[in-house]
Amino acid sequence: MKGIDSNDLYFIVKSYNDLTTPQEQIYLLVIVWRYFIYMTNTSSSLTTSDQIRTFQNICDKVCAEPKIRFCGVINGMGRLVAGGFKDDIKPLHNEEERKMWYMQSALEMSMKKEFGNNLGNIDHIVTYRGNVTLVNIPICDHVVLLSTERNADVIQIVEYTKELFDFNNNTRPENKKEEEDLLVSEFI
């Protein structure tokens, strides 16, 4: 995000109301959101090569299942770090639209996590579209994205996917919290 400073952000936010389409407004919000993530130097955009290999192996297993079109892992900045479409699947979107989907998913997850203290942690988010079903599953600083056939058993797929990530990485938010609590209790 080199080249953006606070004056640019002021102009961007001030011009938000001048944008005519919801897509332009969402795009602007994504830019501002990414800037703040960049400025706070969060680790959510950093993924180790070991994590990437593990994520890719799990995504390959999930994609091998029937009715799965896509399985990928995105970081907090909305960048795909592992996964992809099943070999015999033709994506419904072009590359730019897929990148926008990744960023929107990261933004949606980030915004919905804000209510975690009051409502509890997010287990998964499901969006039923006309042609496909989209699923977002949080795993620590990343989000697993799934695209399934419209008639797929989403609950079964979500449970299977969570099991694979739990077994291989122990990366679910609640597991991370339990580990942190154990570490803290050892020092008290």
- List pLDDT tens digits, range 112-123: 888 888 899 999
From the candidate CATH numbers 3.40.50.2000, 2.40.50.140, 3.30.450.30, 3.40.50.300, the one assigned to the domain spanning 49-178? 3.30.450.30
Convert the pLDDT of each residue in 65-108 to its tens digit.
999 999 999 998 889 999 999 988 888 678 888 888 898 999 88
CA distance 75 to 139: 10
* Whole-number Å distance between alpha carbons of 171 and 26: 29
Residue that wins the pLDDT comparison between 34 and 142: 142
CATH 3.30.450.30 domain position(s) in the chain: 49-178
- Alpha-carbon distances of 19 from 34, 63, 169, rounded to whole Å: 19, 38, 42
Q: Which structure tokens are listed for 73?
A: 């892992």
Query: What's residue 94's pLDDT?
Result: 84
Q: What's the CA dihedral at 11, 35, 125, 116 to 10 degrees?
A: -100
